[in-house]
């Protein structure tokens, strides 16, 4: 007799990971595979992090558990980072180290909401939010921000909602649009959340990767918001799986209890590496040089990708993605992604991963890789489009 599988587990897959799997299984190709699917820097972690790993690899305590909220050293270093970057006073006790920010989202959902609660998010938006909500028996409320709405989630949009949600997730810089919120926009959204009893969850994982604007932390404007962040993007440490939450005082204990029971503690050696990275000024110079490369890559793709692949796309002000409007070429982004992967050896992510309603007309290019790869991708795509004109 087949036993039951919970309806909670019937969530959609995170499509970029499916593309990643297909890409990783492709071997003996006539041309190098260009990886523009993953939001993953192609450059190494900070040197200070690598040195710390080498120096601690034989240290037996680096292979044991840590406190569930993270090592004392790392939580203190994260608190200092907030003083340096935003001039904010964060108490180390408010910091909870998580297994990537990904698990942090699940912890936030389980801690802040009851089954059936409604959580608003932008669409297009990061699909794992929506998928995790479904598995936590929460109801995603998708707010359309396509280019017709200027691709921005604003307080004006929130004011027009028929139902006030229980929670709101925002991201700036946003994935997949690259839109960056101004301080005024973030302040207005934070005020609206506080006035309406809406728990704000601010995903700040792309902070540090804004090209012209300043990144603002929601803590500047809200005392009840959860701040989500990670060493994955700016610090180029995706595989280390170290993220963090800055929590309001009353959420610290519930989140810690969940961490204790859910994963005990994040990877110890990676926490040591992350602490060393944060405490070394050279790290910021190194990572800023990566950000300079992302900007060059963005400009190169916008300049050299064929017009049929850009259409009416949101201008990426931060992060490392172009959310291309491919409606001139196809109305099936999954098929287009397969064509690019199988025929051109370019991995990309279909828009339906980010927007169930209109994502069939879009494709996401990650420009976190090398500039040479971006140039080669633009050349291959130009040749392909020309052959079809
Ligand atoms: C907007 C956003 N939030 C969160 C994450 C999760 O990252 P991690 O679990 O590596 O911290 C990602 C990863 O791509 C992302 O794009």
60 has pLDDT over 90:
yes
Give dist(CA 194, CA 175) in Å, integer: 25
Q: What is the DSSP letter of 45?
A: P
The continuous run of DSSP H or E covering 36 comes out as none
**Angle between helices 371-388 and 333-344 in degrees, nearest 10:** 110
Could you tell me the pLDDT band of residue 195, with boundaries at 50, 70 and 90? very high
The token pair at 44 is: 């190494």
How confident is the model at residue 15, as a pLDDT? 79
Confidence of residue 311 (pLDDT cuts 50, 70, 90): confident
Q: What are the pocket residues of ligand 1 if the criterion is a CB atom closer than 6 Å to any ligand atom?
A: 39, 100-102, 126, 171, 175, 203, 205, 230, 232, 238, 243
Mean pLDDT over 301-320 rounds to: 94
The DSSP result for 121-142, as a single string, is EEES--HHHHHHHHHTT-EEEE
Tell whether domain 9-44+283-381 is in CATH 2.60.120.10: no
Question: What are the CB-based long-range contacts (under 8 Å, 24+) for 29-34?
Answer: 29/345, 30/345, 31/345, 31/380, 32/345, 32/376, 33/345, 33/346, 33/347, 34/345, 34/346, 34/347, 34/369, 34/373, 34/376, 34/377, 34/380
Best residue among 128, 228, 231, 244 to mutate for probing ligand 1's pocket (most ligand atoms within 8 Å of CB) is: 128
pLDDT the model gives residue 34: 96
Ligand 1 site-directed mutation target among 170, 233, 243, most atoms within 8 Å of CB: 233
Cα dihedral 342, 343, 346, 350 sign: negative
Q: How much is the mean pLDDT over the chain?
A: 95
Stated as kind and residue range, the H or E segment containing 82 is helix 72-86
The whole-model pTM stands at: 0.95
What local confidence, expressed as pLDDT, does residue 257 receive? 97
Q: What percent of the chain has pLDDT over 90?
A: 88
pLDDT of residue 53: 98
Share of the chain above pLDDT 70, in %: 100
Give me the residue spans of the domains in the chain: 9-44+283-381, 59-280
DSSP-derived letter for residue 147 is: G
CATH topology assigned to domain 59-280:
3.40.640
Buried b (16+ CB within 10 A) or exposed e, 171-200: bbbbbbbbbbbeeebbbbbbebbbeeebbb
Q: What residue has token string 């961490």?
A: 259
CA distance 112 to 99: 18
**pLDDT grade for 340, boundaries at 50, 70 and 90:** very high
Between the CA of 233 and the centroid of ligand 1 the distance, in Å, is 8
pLDDT at 179 over 90: yes
Using the predicted structure, report yes or no on whether residue 147 has a pLDDT greater than 90: no
């Amino acid at each position: 007799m087949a036993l039951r599988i919970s309806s909670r587990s019937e969530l959609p897959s995170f499509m970029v990971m499916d593309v990643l799997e297909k890409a990783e299984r492709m071997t003996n190709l006539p041309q190098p595979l260009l990886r523009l699917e993953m939001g993953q820097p192609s450059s190494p972690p900070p040197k200070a992090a690598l040195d710390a790993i080498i120096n601690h690899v034989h240290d037996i305590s680096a292979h044991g558990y840590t406190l569930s909220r993270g090592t004392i050293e790392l939580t203190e270093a994260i608190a200092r980072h907030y003083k340096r970057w935003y001039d904010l006073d964060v108490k180390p006790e408010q910091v909870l180290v998580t297994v990537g920010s990904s698990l942090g989202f699940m912890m936030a959902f389980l801690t802040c909401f009851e089954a059936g609660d409604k959580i608003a998010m932008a669409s297009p938006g990061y699909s794992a939010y929506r998928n995790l909500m479904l598995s936590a028996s929460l109801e995603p409320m998708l707010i359309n921000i396509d280019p017709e709405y200027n691709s921005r989630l604003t307080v004006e949009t929130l004011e027009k909602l028929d139902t006030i949600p229980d929670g709101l997730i925002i991201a700036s810089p946003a994935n997949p649009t690259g839109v960056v919120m101004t301080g005024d926009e973030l302040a207005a959204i934070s005020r609206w959340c506080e006035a309406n009893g809406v728990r704000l969850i601010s995903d700040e994982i792309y902070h540090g990767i804004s090209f012209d604007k300043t990144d603002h932390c929601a803590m500047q404007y809200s005392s009840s918001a959860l701040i989500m962040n990670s060493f994955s993007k700016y610090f180029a440490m995706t595989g280390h799986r170290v993220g963090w939450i800055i929590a309001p005082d009353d959420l610290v204990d519930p989140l810690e209890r969940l961490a204790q029971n859910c994963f005990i503690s994040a990877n110890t050696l990676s926490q040591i590496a992350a602490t060393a990275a944060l405490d070394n000024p050279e790290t910021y110079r190194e990572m800023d040089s990566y950000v300079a490369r992302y900007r060059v890559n963005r400009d190169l793709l916008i300049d050299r990708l064929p017009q049929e692949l850009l259409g009416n796309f949101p201008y990426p002000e931060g992060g490392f993605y172009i959310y291309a409007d491919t409606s001139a070429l196809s109305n099936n982004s999954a098929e287009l992604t397969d064509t690019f992967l199988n025929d051109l050896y370019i991995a990309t992510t279909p828009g339906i991963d980010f927007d169930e309603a209109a994502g069939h007309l879009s494709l996401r290019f990650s420009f976190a890789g090398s500039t040479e790869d971006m140039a080669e991708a633009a050349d291959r795509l130009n040749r392909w489009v020309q052959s079809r004109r």
